[in-house]
Chain A
Amino acid sequence: MRIILHVASLLAGFTAPVAFAQNTAPQTGTTPFGPAKGEMTKLADDVHTFSYAGARTLVVTTPDGVIIGDPISPKAAPVLRAEIKKLTAKPVKYMVYSHSHWDHVLGGKIFKDEGATVVSQRNCLESFYRYPNKDLVLPDVSYDQHMNIILGGRTVRLLYLGLNHSDCMTFLHVPHARLLHIVDLVTPGSVPTGTGKMEDTYLLDTIRTLKDIENLDFDVMVGGHGAPSAPKAAVAERRAYMEALMTAVRAEIDKGTPFGQIPGAVSLPQFKHLNGYDRFLRHNAERVLIFNTIGW
């Protein structure tokens, strides 16, 4: 009976507030991911972050135009456009996709139509072609390792750090604001949520990438979900959580805990304060268990 309950509780865990795209059905005040309303937050004179229904993007304004990150969705993009208009009359010149997932990259057409150059890391193209989506604008430009966008006297750096969450993740670095936009790899003050199963995440590469990020020179991170910003320490905290999770699952395996019981047996009290800990720890642990059993 307890075994049955275990399965049931795994299924029940599939109810969470963030990290999935919106469906296309009309939505009113709220969505399963967060309030269906736009919110622009100022981080520096020329750097803002915009969130809509649980997803978050970056806006850098310059005298010659605007650089944005993900358009998020067809519903979010017009709201984002209106919010940008409150900051500047300049057009959006560049739109940079963080990665290939539809909960971030849909709805960019209005920016394309006003003349924005759409950019992504090269590997995203394969996903975009493989799974066409009518709400996706294909990139005009793709890069391999590193690209600088220089506009109106400002430089925004696009960094590719290899596999981690998907295989085409771009980290937007705004050196003059000492800020890094980190989508999905870190949601500050939180364990990996959504379903907690860490979809399309390469575990070892994610930890390696987080270490690489810790070596970059910046003070503030902006996530793709969650709070508008957080100190750089949020990156180390997520990395420490992932490492502790890997170690804890391995310890249960070594102890001989039956695999079916491992997700429920793992405990990381030092991370109890993180959002989603009680709900998602077991799902996070299940993903790590799968790594240990099939090498994926």
Chain B
Amino acid sequence: MTVIRTWRRLLAIALCLWPLTLAAQGTPATKSVNVDDQVPIGRNRPETTKIAEGLYTFTHNGARNIFIVTSEGVIATDPITPRSAEYLRDEIRKVTDGPVKYVVYSHQHWDHARGGRIFKDEGATFVSHANCIKHFHRHPNPDVVMPDMTYEGSRHDLKLGGRTLELYYFGRNHGDCMTFMRIPEEKILFVVDLVTPYGVSGGSGLLNDYYPLDWIRSMKEIEATVDFDRMIGGHGVPIAPKDAFVERRRYIEAMFEAVKKEWEKGTNPFEIAEKIDLPEFKHLRNYDALKARNAERFVAYFALGW
């Protein structure tokens, strides 16, 4: 069952990404909208959750973002897809007449960063870590709005209408331009992709664009230096306690150690992934379906130093 659910989710995400590739080939945009509508209800339905005064999380297309409403306008984050962004705009309008002043990208991947055009048109300033720029140039996508503003180093504070969104950079981990966002009043951290609460690493399970050791390092550094009690993921449930973050870090550490053990024992590298079992994480969503695919990435580290 889990497997089927997983693939349904994959399918939903995948289908939603279809418009992107159509648009990339110059197919009329109207067709993309139709395709979005074919996505199974539930995964596709836009949904906004109020987390605290002025702090909301929005999900559509299997991805999740946050937005902060202030007296001087809105700080939005990943627009997700063109269709998602339209829904997001409507959702924001339900709680404020103010304009979207900022759109902050968590990272460069197309399942989060597309669709910002409508916010750009209303005058929003787009923000990302500086390292994202080279990726946007290398793999151009007509649905991605280029950042107007980038930050370097480990920290940047975005202030608007008396509120602050703290942007943190911890080096490479998932991609090399990931921004973690903290809402200081609530001690909430927005963590995209590195943690999806209560599940193993999802999507296809292949840990695309993950650097395993840096992933663990980044999470340890965050736990040690960033003050947060709760987290909002870039996929999955609206909000979770910090424990979910720690659990994910423990899972990938355990995965790394288990693969290392097999590697050092001399197990045939092509058989290691299937041998890995971490019973203490059996309760995680998609564990059975995706653990071996998660493990493959760690095997590749030991095989290649990558």
Which residues of A are interface residues toward B (Cβ below 8 A)? 3-4, 6-7, 10-11, 14-16, 20-21, 23-27, 32, 100-103, 127, 130-131, 133, 166, 195, 197, 199-200, 204-205, 250, 253-254, 256, 258-260, 286, 289-296
* B7 x A260 contact (CB < 8 A): yes
Partner of A260, one of B10, B25, B139, B296: B10
CB-defined A-B contacts under 8 Å, sample of 20: A4-B3, A20-B299, A26-B266, A32-B270, A100-B305, A102-B303, A103-B304, A166-B306, A250-B25, A254-B25, A254-B27, A259-B10, A286-B204, A286-B206, A289-B14, A293-B110, A294-B209, A295-B108, A295-B110, A295-B139
Q: Is B271 at the interface (CB under 8 A from chain A)?
A: yes
Asked if B76 is an interface residue, CB under 8 A from chain A, the answer is no
Interface residue? B45 (CB, 8 A): no
User: Would you call B267 an interface residue if the criterion is a C-beta within 8 Å of the partner chain's C-beta atoms?
Assistant: yes
Give chain A residues whose Cβ lies under 8 Å from the Cβ of B175.
296
With A7-B289, A200-B306, A293-B111 given, is the CB distance from A23 to B7 under 8 Å?
no
Query: When chains A and B are docked, how far (Å) is the Cα of A67 from the Cα of B142?
Result: 47
Query: Which of B16-24, B147-155, B156-164, B246-254 lies on the face that meets chain A?
Result: B16-24
Whole-angstrom distance from the CB of B283 to the nearest CB of chain A?
Answer: 20
Is B293 among interface residues, defined by CB-CB distance under 8 A? yes
Are the C-beta atoms of A259 and B306 separated by less than 8 Å? no
Q: A-B contact count, CB below 8 Å?
A: 137
Let me know if B281 is at the binding interface, CB within 8 A.
no
Task: Give the docked Cα–Cα distance between A10 and B172 (Å).
Answer: 28
Restricting to B25-60, which residues have a CB under 8 Å from any CB of A? 25, 27, 35
Given the known interface contacts A100-B305, A258-B14, A259-B10, the answer about A195 and B4 at a Cβ–Cβ threshold of 8 Å is: no
Verify B306–A294 contact, CB threshold 8 A: no
Q: In the complex, which residue of chain B has the Cβ closest to the Cβ of A32?
A: B268
Q: Bound complex: CA of A195 vs CA of B139, how far in Å?
A: 25
Task: Provide the residues of chain B in CB contact with A133, threshold 8 Å.
Answer: 305
Instruction: List residues of chain A with CB within 8 A of the CB of B289.
Output: 7
Measured CB to CB, the closest approach of chain B to A227, in angstroms, equals 21
A208–chain B nearest beta-carbon distance, Å = 10
Give the residues in chain A near B27, CB-CB below 8 Å: 254
Interface code B263-280, partner A: CB below 8 Å = 1, 0 otherwise? 111111111011000000
6 closest Cβ contacts across the A-B interface? Answer: A25-B266, A259-B14, A294-B109, A20-B303, A101-B304, A102-B305
Query: Would you call B96 an interface residue if the criterion is a C-beta within 8 Å of the partner chain's C-beta atoms?
Result: no
For residue A127, which residues in chain B have a CB less than 8 angstroms away from its CB? 305-306
Bound: A292/B21 CA distance, A: 7
Q: Judge whether B14 and A293 touch: CB under 8 Å.
A: yes
Cβ of B13 to closest chain A Cβ, rounded Å: 8
Among B13, B21, B25, B296, which residue has its beta carbon within 8 angstroms of that of A195?
Answer: B296
A78 to chain B, nearest CB (A): 19
Is A296 in contact with B209, judged by CB distance below 8 angstroms? yes
Question: Complex Cα distance A118/B113, Å?
Answer: 42
CB distance from A242 to the nearest CB of B (A): 16
Looking at the assembled complex, report how far the CB atom of B200 sits from the nearest CB atom of chain A, in whole angstroms: 13
**Chain B residue nearest in CB terms to A136:** B305
A11-B273 in contact given A3-B3, A199-B300, A258-B15 (Cβ < 8 Å): yes
Residues of B within 8 A of A32 (CB): 268-270
Pairwise interchain contact A14-B273, C-beta atoms closer than 8 A:
yes
* Contact between chains at A11 and B10 (CB < 8 Å): no
How far in angstroms is the closest Cβ of chain A from B98?
31
Distance in angstroms from B203 CB to nearest chain A CB is 8
- A residues less than 8 Å from B300 (CB atoms): 195, 199-200
Residue ID in chain A nearest B112 by CB atoms: A294
Do the beta carbons of B138 and A204 come within 8 Å of each other? yes
Q: Which residues of A contact B273 (CB under 8 A)?
A: 11, 14
Q: Does B208 contact A (CB under 8 A)?
A: yes
The distance from the CB of B302 to the nearest CB of chain A, in whole angstroms, is: 8
Chain A residues with Cβ under 8 A from B135's Cβ?
295
Say whether B125 faces chain A, with CB atoms less than 8 Å apart. Answer: no
Distance in angstroms from A266 CB to nearest chain B CB is: 14
Given A20-B304, A103-B303, verify A294-B22 contact (CB < 8 Å).
no
> Can you name the residue of chain A whose Cβ is closest to the Cβ of B172?
A130
Across the interface, name the chain B residue whose C-beta is closest to A11.
B292
Chain A residues with CB under 8 Å of B296's CB are 14, 195, 197
Q: How far is the CA of A65 from the CA of B142 in the complex (A)?
A: 54
Specify which of A7, A23, A24, A289 is in contact with B3 (CB 8 Å cutoff). Answer: A7
